[in-house]
Structure formats: C-alpha cells, structure tokens
Amino acid sequence: MTNLLNQRIKETEGLIYKLANSYKNYSNLEDLFQAGCIGVIKADKLYDENKSNCKFSTYAFNSIKGEMIDFLRKDKNIIVSDEIYNIYKKYVKVKEMLYTKYEREATFNEVCNFMEIDEKTMLNIIESISFAKSINEDETIYNNFSFDDRNEIDDEILLKSEIESLDTTSQELINYRYYQGLSQMETAEAMGLSQAKVSRQEKLILSRIKDNIAN
C-alpha cells in the first residue's frame, strides 16, 4: 500500500468510524471499518485534487458508505427470516384492524395483547425489520431537515454528529421514531412515557438540532 493511500485512510479514519457507528445494531464494527477502507481505496483511484471541488474525505464519503451498505446487504446474519417477517406483517395488519375497531390508533400494548406476544419480543422484531430495511433504503432523519447552501454530504455528517451528541434518552426517542418507525404512542409505551411528553420532547429535540445546525 502506497504512502499516499495510507495517508488517505488515516485522514478519513474518523469519518469511517463515524459511519460504521451509525449502524449501531450491527455487531462487528471492525468489519464495517474494513469495508470503509475499501471505499477509500476505490475513491482514491478516481480522485483528482486538481479537478475536484472538495477535499478527499468529502469526495470519499459516498464510496465509503456504499461499501458498508454493500457489505451489510451480503451478510447473511442480518437477513430477516420468513417467520420474523410474517410476525411483523401480522403486527401491521392488527394495528390497521384495531384502528378500524376502536376508531383510534391502538396502543402498542393493545396490539401485543391481541397478538398474544410479549412487548419486548415485538420490539426486537420491529428493530430487526427496521435495521434490515434501513440497509436497503438507507433511511435517516436527514430528509426532515432543510439546509442552506452547504454541501449535502457535509450536512449529513453534521446531522449524525448532532444526534450522537444527544443524551441517551433523546437518542432512544429519535431511534424509535425515525429509525424503527414507531408512532409517538408506541414510542411512549416503549420508553414508559406519556404520548404528550414524547411529542413535546421530539419537538424540542428537532428544534435544538435545527438551531445548532443553523449556527
């Protein structure tokens, strides 16, 4: 490996680990780091400092992220089984059925009781489905924010950094709402809070993030 390439990897090491840590549900971050390094090597082959209008780490962002996603998609350990997926599909259908029956959104507890399934087990299933889905669709809360004229790659890094700086409870709330796709009511039950408090906290968190990014 050339000295320049070693320098490239050292230069982007922080970015690689930051992206790897965004997939918190994956057990082996070192494997993701290695995939990120492959992304750096591929980006280095195409990067032309004289022609590119950005620094190398910004240029390599998509290549690093792409290699990680490709690695995760090929990992058979995170493929959701048909049994798990069928339980999740039933969960969605029961939610819809109870909404029609009660003429309101059913609570997470009500859905689980109707299905005769433990709430913790159901949360683990939802988390597994959400993680697999996020790999295929690469969904984040990035689309919930509008930025000015900054580079969108830098914006996404900035947003991830803001989320990571939140306290544990706030990170948990954002995770349930935007990464696992739970409603405010389901999030409230999962966290042992009232729906009103979840709603207030969510607004405060998003407002704080927007203010920090704007400044």
pLDDT at position 146, please? 42
Per-residue pLDDT of the chain (215 residues; tens, 9 = 90+): 578 788 888 888 988 888 888 776 677 788 889 999 999 999 988 888 777 777 888 788 888 888 888 888 777 666 677 888 899 889 989 999 999 999 888 888 999 999 999 998 998 888 778 777 666 555 444 444 443 333 444 555 567 777 878 888 998 888 788 776 678 888 888 888 888 899 999 999 988 887 776 66
Distance from C-alpha of 139 to C-alpha of 179, rounded to nearest angstrom: 7
User: Taking the mean position of all CA atoms in its chain, how far away is CA 171?
Assistant: 11
* pLDDT (0 to 100) of residue 87: 93
Task: Give residue 130's pLDDT.
Answer: 74
Residue 151, pLDDT score: 45
Domains 1-78 and 82-135 share a fold: no
Q: What is the pLDDT of residue 25?
A: 65
Pick the CATH number of 82-135 from 1.10.10, 1.10.287, 1.10.3470, 2.60.40: 1.10.10
Answer yes or no: CATH 1.10.1740.10 is held by domain 1-78.
yes
Give residue limits of the domains in the chain: 1-78, 82-135
Cα separations in angstroms, 92 against 56, 89, 97, 108: 44, 5, 9, 11
Specify whether the CB–CB gap between 164 and 174 falls below 8 A.
no
Asked if 91 contacts 115 with a C-beta cutoff of 8 angstroms, the reply is: yes
CB 91 within 8 A of CB 122: yes
Q: How far apart are CA 64 and CA 71, in angstroms?
A: 11
Rounded Cα distance between 188 and 185, Å, is: 5
Burial 137-171 (b: 16+ CB within 10 A, else e): eeebbeeebebeeeeebebbbbbbebbeeeeeebe
What is the Cα–Cα distance from 152 to 147, expressed in whole angstroms?
Answer: 8
For residues 38 and 8, the answer to whether their CB atoms sit within 8 Å is no
Q: In this predicted structure, what is the pLDDT of residue 24? A: 66
